[in-house]
Chains A and B, each alone.
Chain A
């Protein structure tokens, strides 16, 4: 598997300075580590876990971290950076800064830009841009079909050779079963993951929210759960038949979790993700008619949310992805039906999950930490880890700190956070990606941490 820091970013190819993180509780659920240590970071790797207060290293920056928790940094396989075309919403610099602020050491950017990323030239120029602007490593997927029109395949092998990290028409489903099947066949030689936005447009129709009691009450057209489920069933069957592998994006419905579970049992090479908003909110939020709660797939019922939580616990859902989708104010300050679909999530993902799932005892911290990094594996990258010899991807958390989301502004260029204004617990203080300090929370960096 590839290392995350082999992706493109500002620190590509540079030799990072050594760092000692002193006295943190080191928690790496995958490696079974949970004890106080000094973490010695050298040449981009975790060099050593030493007894607290014992590590010494000439020329190393020392980060005093007693009372804090060091976890493997997070990896987001589903982010919209809006480059090229909608840099007014986000660009590589602001998007990766938001990622670093959220504790992420790597992200994968979707290809539904304007124009869509469907040529090797586009991949080249994005990678070049990332080497100038990106605070954390960023991979770019290319579209599965030319222009995301769902008709002809892109030059998948050439895109892979240009450095695309996967394929996805995210934003749109691949409507045609024939085109889907060809893409899966072609994967045998292109070799990269295919990530799928699963939805039957015929069933979704003009829907803007989950179809159910709330849509009946507020009179807005619904997107039925079955719209997602039928496509997952189709594509799992196709992947099984072609012995291909697929990654299902942003699961939202209980029936979809069930469909993925059955496919996994049947031996289909399928992984899937869920978002913090689908794990913590339901369509009841849409009663407010507040466009901050509009996204696709939509927020569904409490039963669906519980099924997602169960899926995350059991492992049917492999990882957490934010589907960070920045939009301008003008696109959100309109009536719900007219508003753009999508919410930002990078900067609040951990705190939202910690506040809403860990603190109330729904899921253990260990599980949330593991699933926030597991997205790397779905795309063939080593998941972040803290055992000696791993790539140095770590996030320092203050689990006591409460803060109001958005009160100090956002790193993202957009403000359409579903959590804006919420009081959250758990704050990212430092993010180290590939041995580089990619983010320091301002008050912590100033030495005035509470």
Chain B
């Protein structure tokens, strides 16, 4: 894997490989010292054009746990806030010769463009309403941890699918791992032709929710009311909120966070034993460590850091494994 730009680019084997790596990092997370020297001497740039608490902190902690150096650039207060173009910003940051750039942008395709402009491995930490692949991978990891495998499982993704990069990435990832995904929400918030585009079933009411093994609720932003996507919050809650009455005893609950309490989820289900929301956050760290390791632990990087003699001096690989 050269970059992580979208789930659409990945096949099941590549996803599985990241899952297995994440298992190893989960084990590291149980040690006294939760940091490994793997990526010592490498530089990772984290470039966030949108505010984000959990994704940026999770990636940044992942970088630190792998012993790489971190340059963190947030849009507010930086030159990107002063109208510098993405291309110029990348050119500037490339002066640090980073091995990876983690980018969050409000615009679809931003990560892909950056990948054309830099030698670094690019990780898409969310581009507009397009994709959020690391979220999808941590969602797969979290479900796999709980269910073993996703094959044949029914997953319902409920809410504002239209504006959700999480829905787009996660639906594709779940489908690739063998689950059957149903998208559910108010008709104006389900993209036209979503069923064909994402290979999912589409429904506009929760009457069939009982068939779901997993209920994945999406964040419902209040701005949507003003744009008349839904008539009112009260009406949305009445039709689509996941609450204790609607969530069955055997059904698992997921949410990408941050939760609007009392809107897409009722208070009672958030702390429910079947809620995987905290596990999602915890696993996000391990999965992001796995992504960075997968992208950076091979190849020629870092440039020029090692002198001659290194090759023959190398520790041989674990015996029996292909190089």
Q: Which residues of A does B touch, CB under 8 Å? A: 211-222, 224, 289, 330, 333-338
A335 engages B197 (CB within 8 Å):
no
Nearest-neighbour CB distance to chain B for A333, whole angstroms, equals 6
Q: Most chain-B CB neighbours within 10 Å: which of A216, A221, A222, A338?
A: A216
User: Which of B33-41, B58-66, B107-115, B279-287 is the interface stretch?
Assistant: B107-115
A219 engages B131 (CB within 8 Å):
yes
CA distance A338 to B107 in the complex (A): 7
Nearest-neighbour CB distance to chain A for B55, whole angstroms, equals 17
User: Which of B188-196, B230-238, B244-252 is the interface stretch?
Assistant: B188-196
Q: Which residues of the partner chain B approach A220 to less than 8 Å between Cβ atoms?
A: 108, 128-130
| Given A335-B113, A336-B109, A337-B128: A222 in contact with B86 (beta carbons within 8 A) | no
In the complex, residue of chain B having the shortest beta-carbon distance to the beta carbon of A301: B193
Nearest-neighbour CB distance to chain B for A281, whole angstroms, equals 18
Pick from B8, B87, B197: contact of A333, CB under 8 Å: B87
| Given A213-B197, A336-B107: A218 in contact with B130 (beta carbons within 8 A) | yes
B110 engages A211 (CB within 8 Å):
no
In the complex, residue of chain A having the shortest beta-carbon distance to the beta carbon of B111: A335
Q: Which residues of the partner chain A approach B112 to less than 8 Å between Cβ atoms?
A: 289
B86 engages A212 (CB within 8 Å):
no
A-B contacts besides A216-B191, A218-B109, A222-B191, 4 pairs, CB < 8 Å: A216-B197, A289-B130, A333-B87, A337-B107
Pick from A216, A222, A335: contact of B109, CB under 8 Å: A335
In the complex, residue of chain A having the shortest beta-carbon distance to the beta carbon of B132: A219
Nearest-neighbour CB distance to chain B for A336, whole angstroms, equals 5
Nearest-neighbour CB distance to chain B for A20, whole angstroms, equals 50
Nearest-neighbour CB distance to chain A for B156, whole angstroms, equals 18
Nearest-neighbour CB distance to chain B for A288, whole angstroms, equals 9
B192 engages A334 (CB within 8 Å):
no
B193 engages A216 (CB within 8 Å):
yes
A212 engages B192 (CB within 8 Å):
yes
B129 engages A216 (CB within 8 Å):
no
Q: Which residues of the partner chain B approach A221 to less than 8 Å between Cβ atoms?
A: 129
Q: Cβ of B176 < 8 Å from any Cβ of A?
A: no
CA distance A330 to B112 in the complex (A): 17
Q: Which residues of the partner chain B approach A214 to less than 8 Å between Cβ atoms?
A: 197
CB<8 Å pairs between A and B, sample of 9 = A214-B197, A216-B194, A218-B108, A218-B130, A219-B168, A219-B191, A289-B113, A289-B130, A337-B108
A219 engages B198 (CB within 8 Å):
no
B 194-212 to A, binary, CB cutoff 8 A, 1 in contact else 0:
1011100000000000000
In the complex, residue of chain A having the shortest beta-carbon distance to the beta carbon of B131: A219
Nearest 9 pairs of A and B residues by beta carbon? A289-B109, A335-B107, A219-B129, A216-B197, A216-B191, A217-B197, A213-B193, A219-B130, A213-B197
Q: Which residues of the partner chain B approach A216 to less than 8 Å between Cβ atoms?
A: 191-194, 196-198
CA distance A333 to B85 in the complex (A): 9
Pick from A211, A219, A289, A337: contact of B192, CB under 8 Å: A211
A222 engages B127 (CB within 8 Å):
no
Nearest-neighbour CB distance to chain A for B197, whole angstroms, equals 4
Nearest-neighbour CB distance to chain B for A212, whole angstroms, equals 5
